[in-house]
Chain A
Amino acid sequence: MTGDEDTVGVPLAKVSTPESGELMVKAEGVHKSFGRLEVLKGIDLEVRQGEVMCVVGPSGSGKSTFLRCINHLEKINAGRLWVNGHLVGYRERGGRLHELREREVAAQRREIGMVFQRFNLFPHKTVLENVMGAPLWVKKQPKDQVRQRALALLDRVGLSEKAQTYPAQLSGGQQQRVAIARALAMEPALMLFDEPTSALDPELVGEVLEVMKQLALVGMNIMVVTHAMGFTREVGDSLVFMDDGVVVERGAPREVLSNPQHARTQDFLSRVI
């Protein structure tokens, strides 16, 4: 993806900081606490344009929380976080941070698609309505155009014949594919996947990973928290191992998986593979 393409539909003027210009995501000393529990203890991370980054680690390591901070579903307590050149959730003016209004946060989220572990499809809407909803209500695009694009997206995830059914009538794998189509309908610059296959029966995991792989092949920026090491090895450009709220190790997936440098990574990988 070139710089020209992703300025299309970007709702806010880019604040180009020298260090975040070429990056999709940049995190600098990101801290997050829930009450007294410190979940993120200073994350520094960079995701290049077009990169597929897989985040792995034991449960409770803060990897899902970090992902949720990226689209401001969680507010960070310290540090800075940029997506596509925008400071997430704040505006820096006169050396001070100002919280963005709800409307501005919503506008930032439009360039970030998110897929959840538990799908979170809207159960009272049909599959087609799920995909059409956000472009129709949020972007106020014309209905015919939205409908055509939604059908094309459903076709892309292999579910065009399910357009008129309700989510509860679909298998978990099918629901997750609809959820991916729903997120893509907003034409995001970055896709976040929070353990997208963890709630699925084993035989349904493959169909979801296949859709994600197709996305990666067309150059989508992807950050995925996952336990699917095969996918990480095959599709990932980089692997980040998190433990206890910090990034322990980062590298090319094949190298990290076959030759982990840190004891904690070795320990974790020996237990999951």
Chain B
Amino acid sequence: MTIDTDVKRERPEPIKAVPVRHPGRWVAAVAVLVLVAMFVHFLLTSNALEWSEQGKYITSTAVLKGVRNTILLTVAAMVGGMLLGTVLALMRLSANPLLSGASWFYLWFFRGTPLYTQLLIWGAIGSLLPTVGLGIPFGPEFHTWKTQALVTPMLAAGLGLILNEAAYMAEIIRAGILSVDEGQQEAASALGMSRTQTMSRIVLPQAMRVIVPPTGNEVLSMMKNTSLVAAIPFSELTFTAQTIYANTYKIIPMLVMACLWYLLLSSILMVGQYYLERHFSRGVGKASPARGQRLRLRGGGGGQ
């Protein structure tokens, strides 16, 4: 049986067909266009927004200080939360039941109570623990401080956010560690690496690919959740806006102004997240290490 491959056949004409029409899409597009036009019209003509009033305050010293505090709190809470979260995740994965049990209890408490309530408690920490001392447990104390003087509003806000965030980061990091194939640890052990080296050089860098996307969402959430430290009270962006409109009664302009600041900050974070994800996904997939993945906006907010 042979197949004659020498037969010259003419290339058929390229297809020129009438495309399928999508009337539904057109209707939807027009509807969206109308809504966008209405929104722009509202932004330009509404008196309630008072753009000039916003312009007066948006770069004022008080607001900039609020923005600075929001950024500081976000960074401190995320860095602290990640460090403590890593410790909690490793404890949770430990073979020692006391360590994993303690970690479980921590997560149960901090994920089981609202952040706002936790922050209110931090604001009243002086009533819960009037003094803190350095000494031997159940024994003599060498030095004692008054809590009210030691824990400033900034420290209370930072601690409140860190302790809460650590509980969420612990679960994200644990999932990341568990996502790394067991063979990786075996290979590292077989090469004579210590457990610490295996964790820091082999497991955690690979876990980062799973850890970074949800952590990006956590950073965005955290940036917005810093507004809750008004419970302490501590003056960040939202609290500053409130302080201003308490005097001027320009409530909506100040809140919209705060929104504009939050949007600017979150946009910067989203770009940063894109580059981080690209960095930690190197070596994955058959294509070149820098995958041709396009910048996509991730749904922020989510799960507290």
Interface residues of A (CB under 8 A from B): 71, 73, 102-103, 106-107, 109-110, 112-114, 116, 118, 120-126, 133-134, 137-138, 166-169, 182-183, 186
Contacts and interface: CB of A to CB of B under 8 A. Distances in A.
A103 B283 contact: no
B189 interface: yes
B286 interface: yes
Contact of A186 (B191, B195, B197, B283): B191
Contacts of B299: none
B36 to A, nearest CB: 43
A167 B283 contact: yes
Given A106-B189, A106-B192, A137 B197 contact: yes
A114 B189 CA distance: 10
Nearest to B197: A137
Contact of B191 (A103, A107, A109, A126): A109
Given A166-B283, A166-B289, A168-B283, A134 B186 contact: no
Contact of A107 (B186, B192, B202, B286): B192
29 contacts: A73-B190, A102-B195, A103-B194, A106-B189, A107-B192, A114-B187, A114-B190, A116-B183, A116-B186, A120-B181, A122-B184, A122-B188, A122-B202, A123-B283, A123-B284, A124-B283, A133-B191, A133-B201, A134-B191, A134-B192, A138-B192, A166-B282, A167-B283, A168-B283, A169-B286, A182-B191, A183-B190, A183-B191, A186-B192
Contacts, number: 75
Interface of B: 181, 183-184, 186-195, 197, 201-202, 205-206, 280, 282-286, 289
A193 to B, nearest CB: 12
B192 A118 contact: no
A161 B27 CA distance: 57
Given A120-B183, A166-B289, 16 more contacts: A71-B190, A73-B190, A109-B189, A116-B186, A116-B187, A118-B183, A120-B186, A122-B184, A122-B202, A124-B283, A133-B201, A138-B197, A166-B282, A168-B284, A182-B191, A186-B192
Nearest to A103: B194
A171 B260 CA distance: 51
Contacts of A106: 189, 192-194
Contacts of B190: 71, 73, 109, 112-114, 116, 183
Contacts of B284: 123, 168
Contacts of A121: 187
Contacts of A113: 190
Contacts of B195: 102
Nearest to A123: B283
Contacts of B187: 114, 116, 120-122
A167 B195 CA distance: 23
A122 B192 CA distance: 15
A102 B194 contact: yes
Contacts of A103: 194
Given A73-B189, A109-B192, A110-B192, A120 B184 contact: yes
Contacts of B282: 124, 166
Nearest to A139: B192
Top 10 A-B pairs ranked by shortest CB distance?
A: A120-B187, A166-B283, A110-B192, A120-B183, A134-B191, A114-B190, A109-B192, A123-B283, A106-B192, A124-B283
A171 to B, nearest CB: 11
B276 to A, nearest CB: 14
B179 to A, nearest CB: 12
Most chain B beta carbons < 10 A, residue from A109, A112, A126, A137: A137
Contacts of B192: 106-107, 109-110, 134, 138, 186
Contacts of A126: 283
B219 to A, nearest CB: 22
Contacts of B286: 168-169
A182 to B, nearest CB: 7
A187 B191 CA distance: 10
A126 B283 CA distance: 8
A182 B192 CA distance: 12
Given A102-B195, A116-B183, A169-B286, A124 B189 contact: no
Contacts of A186: 191-192
Contacts of A138: 191-194, 197
Tell which of A106, A113, A118 has the most Cβ of chain B within 10 Å. Answer: A106
Contact of A137 (B186, B201, B285): B201
